[in-house]
Amino acid sequence: MRFVFLVCCLIPLSAAAQEDGPQPISTRTGVFTAEQALKGQELFTVVCGECHQPEDFLEGFLEGWAGQTADVLFKEIRATMPEDSPGSLRSSEYAAVIAFLFQLNGLEAGEENLPGSTRRLKEILIALPEGEKAGDS
Ligand code: HEC
């Protein structure tokens, strides 16, 4: 008497669901949390509010960055702002301010904070909210 075990079919289903390589994600897929954006708003008011109004980052702001990855925006802001003290915030604080600017521009919050790491931000493509196209006007 022999028992035959069908071990051939035990390949985990999750392996089949994985695409090859990391997929680029975009700001349309909820790349910050609402809580983070709120913290960013507070920081913005205190740190950036001296020279900027939130409205300064509405018209054309996101359009100007669409198509680039989020690390480029992060590095630009960190290298130049606040103008009187560039680089003076923590990485997580710059990320929070950017989350606020994303939310201000109509992007939806999600489950995870926007990372403060440029390596991870590089995987996030800046895109306008669903239904808006760069150059439409
Ligand atoms: C002391 C004044 C001052 C403070 C504080 C300041 N900024 Fe600015 N910011 C400026 C000036 C002036 C410009 C225009 C500079 C230029 O265009 O070269 C500017 C430009 C910018 C731009 C580019 C404008 C655009 O439409 O792309 C961004 C983004 C920006 N600031 C973000 C911030 C953020 C975020 C903070 C807070 C962390 C901040 N700034 C704090 C003075 C300031």
| pLDDT by residue, tens only, the chain of 137 residues | 555 554 454 545 444 444 555 666 999 999 999 999 999 999 999 999 999 999 999 989 999 999 999 999 999 999 999 999 999 999 999 999 999 999 999 999 999 999 999 999 999 999 999 888 655 54
- Give the pLDDT confidence of 85-107 residue by residue, as tens digits: 999 999 999 999 999 999 999 99
- Rounded Cα distance between 121 and 92, Å, is 12
The preferred substitution site among 46, 50, 51 for testing ligand 1, maximizing ligand atoms within 8 Å of CB, is 51
CA nearest 99: which of 81, 122, 115, 86?
115
From the CB of 83, is ligand 1 less than 6 Å away? yes
Provide the token pair at 63.
């359009």
Question: How many angstroms separate the alpha carbon of residue 73 from the centre of ligand 1?
Answer: 12
The preferred substitution site among 52, 53, 61, 126 for testing ligand 1, maximizing ligand atoms within 8 Å of CB, is 52
Q: What is the mean pLDDT of the chain?
A: 88
